[in-house]
Structure 1
């Protein structure tokens, strides 16, 4: 199976030395990429900036901004059979990045932001992807409700939800606790190391892709 995995945060430039980002470490996405490669799948990892080593057997395509990740996915998704969108992509970016370092001045400043393209939401409608589509939903409340709405809105086969308000799991952690949301049911995966959860997720995605091919 040919698989694309996105991972890590994005960085949205304010000026040549400053940017906006988030707390994603990339560990879940990298664990998934490693698990796919170890299961014998051809794996492309599209990653925002992280401090992680590239898993053995995985092709890495590094990006920085949400626009760069959108373009990378658009260019490569057509040849994939499954795609897992694990990256924490910025919803907005500064409307204009300063060409020079912004100097300290007034007591407060106002920044204008514009919406970034929706990478997961573009997979079906804009890119025409017909393979198995998996997204992540990092929420602080109403996890299952928001994850199911995301699944339906973006045409996913599976949304993997995690409650990032819980201490010790999710962002910046080696551990996670997941909720698998399918079109007709949900299933919980109890807290565990991310590298232990990843092979379990790979098996689920393999099953979804096998079912898709049988019904095609």
Structure 2
């Protein structure tokens, strides 16, 4: 359930570092904070800490429910996690994606009234109540399931899909050798295919870019080449954010090449900012 808090206190109490730290914790837990306002206080001081007027609190919560009603009937598709491209029955090519950011985006979309489907590669994450979860292993499976879920209004492709797969997967476990050569071939580009699908293209297509260098340049290139509406990029070379971290920091690049930066915060909070 959604919880709204309307704090009110002396300006010095409100601005105190320990209080601000606790407010941020509450936000990261999913609480909605209304106010406080700047004005005269009962203690005689002036500043930030005055309780928001009851009528404005009512209007804020009422607008939240109206927002849910407006989104009711809209469909969203989210992909998350890595893919496994098998070499033989026990070995595969993959990456370090945990799927956490994609799961949080799916949860946020659901909480905002969207009928949400989450297509997930292999992760250790729990299913989300109210979200239709489809589990897959390979990029080809994710591609097939994504097509089956169309049409949708919004599609967020946050999965870290393997760019390559093994051309000839072995049916039996490969025995240990001194050397072994693998022939790889390009995987299907799910984002590019769906973003250019004239009849079933979602109204909003969002791609993700996990970069280690030249984040802006590479993200704008991907935005253009994939024909998507947004690219959400993060620097995965920073161990404090991105893969396997509870935190993230992202840049959103829009069609007009403008950029919006969301500072480091928990992935749940990043998801709320995105949605």
1:17 Cα deviation from its structure 2 partner: 1.0
What SS is found at the alignment partner of 1:104?
A: coil
Provide the C-alpha distance between the structure 2 equivalents of 1:58 and 1:67, rounded to a whole number of angstroms.
22
Provide the C-alpha distance between the structure 2 equivalents of 1:20 and 1:154, rounded to a whole number of angstroms.
24
Of 157, 164, 186, 1:92 maps to 164
8 A contact 1:174–1:194 mirrored in 2: yes
CA change 1:64–1:127 in 2 (3 A) is farther
What SS is found at the alignment partner of 1:9?
A: coil
8 A contact 1:37–1:56 mirrored in 2: no
Question: Mind listing any 5+ residue stretches in structure 1 that lack a counterpart?
Answer: 203-216
* 1:101-130 deviation line (CA, Å, top 9, x unaligned): 10012x111100011010000013246404
Q: Is 2:100 the counterpart of 1:3?
A: no
CA change 1:159–1:137 in 2 (3 A) is same
The residue aligned with 2:213 is 141
Q: Is 2:196 the counterpart of 1:118?
A: no
Question: Mind listing any 5+ residue stretches in structure 2 that lack a counterpart?
Answer: 1-73
- Displacement over 6 Å in runs of 4+: none
The residue aligned with 2:237 is 165
8 A contact 2:230–2:253 mirrored in 1: yes
Provide the C-alpha distance between the structure 1 equivalents of 2:159 and 2:244, rounded to a whole number of angstroms.
13
Q: Is 2:100 the counterpart of 1:27?
A: yes
- Asked which structure has the greater CA Rg, the reply is 2
* 1:37-78 deviation line (CA, Å, top 9, x unaligned): 11111000000000001111100011100000111111112x
1:183 Cα deviation from its structure 2 partner: 1.9
Alignment length, in residue pairs? 200
Please give the residue correspondences for 1:6-85 in structure 2 after superposition, counting only pairs within 5 Å: 6-77=79-150, 79-85=151-157
Provide the C-alpha distance between the structure 2 equivalents of 1:76 and 1:58, rounded to a whole number of angstroms.
13
